[in-house]
């Protein structure tokens, strides 16, 4: 009698478990996380950030709008390009950005200028905010050069001031001696991007 009661309880527990397993199986069939997701994603981190509670005030004449830079097709992706030769391009294995490099660089640039200058910096896409000075440009290079084992960040900046005209300048940072691995290239690109952002901040400051 006791054995029969235990068997009945076990059977009822099994019956209750089957619907849960079936639901999990159905969920697994509907949700896809990609074939081989990367172990981690790359991003850009500023070497200095404005502390909480900090801010700036001013008029449109003294504020600065930072636009997302243009970028060639090879950079308009979330992969890290590798220049194999003058006519050959590849992408670094397991190196994936959390966002496109141009957008990440814009955020880094804004934070660097914000912490190094006293200017009001606008890095949103709100059309209602129209500062007289705009910083835009073209992100020419943001990747790895296999022939020199170097990471290269090259930015052609355009400073457009409504009452003073347009000024352009090229900024560049090259870090050699980097192994062609995501764990090496990612941090090196972050250092190079911070270097370029610092140069731009000194220019517009």
CA distance 202 to 195: 11
Confidence (pLDDT) at 163 = 76
To the nearest 5 percent, what fractions of the chain are helix, strand and coil?
A: 35, 30, 35
* Residue in 65, 191, 69 with CA at minimum distance from that of residue 139: 69
Rg of the Cα atoms in the chain: 25
Confidence (pLDDT) at 129 = 65
Q: Indicate left, alpha or beta for 27 from its phi (over 0: left) and psi (-120 to 50: alpha).
A: alpha
Instruction: For 33-92, write each residue's pLDDT tens digit.
Output: 445 666 789 999 999 765 554 545 545 556 899 999 999 999 999 999 999 998 899 999
Domain annotation for the chain: domains and CATH numbers: 60-204 (3.40.50.10610)
Residues of the chain falling short of pLDDT 50: 1-4, 6-7, 9-18, 20-34, 53, 55, 58
Confidence (pLDDT) at 2 = 40
CA distance 99 to 103: 7
Is the model's pTM score more than 0.85? no
């Amino acid at each position: 009698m006791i054995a029969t009661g235990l068997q009945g309880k076990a059977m009822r527990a099994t019956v209750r478990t089957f619907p849960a397993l079936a639901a999990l199986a159905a969920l697994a069939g509907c949700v896809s996380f990609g074939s081989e997701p990367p172990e981690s994603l790359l991003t850009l981190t500023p070497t200095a950030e404005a502390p909480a509670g900090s801010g700036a005030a001013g008029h449109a004449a003294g504020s600065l709008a930072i636009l997302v830079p243009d970028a060639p097709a090879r950079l308009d992706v979330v992969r890290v390009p590798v220049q194999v030769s003058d006519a050959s391009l590849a992408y670094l294995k397991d190196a994936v950005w959390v966002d496109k490099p141009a957008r990440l660089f814009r955020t880094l640039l804004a934070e660097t200028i914000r912490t190094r200058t006293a200017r009001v910096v606008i890095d949103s896409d709100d059309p209602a905010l129209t500062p007289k000075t705009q910083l835009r440009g073209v992100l020419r290079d943001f990747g790895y050069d296999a022939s020199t084992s170097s990471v290269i960040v090259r930015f052609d900046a355009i400073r457009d001031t409504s009452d003073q005209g347009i000024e352009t300048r090229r900024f560049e940072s090259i870090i050699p001696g980097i192994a062609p691995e995501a764990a090496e290239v990612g941090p090196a690109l972050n250092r190079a991007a911070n270097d370029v952002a610092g140069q731009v901040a000194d220019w517009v400051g």
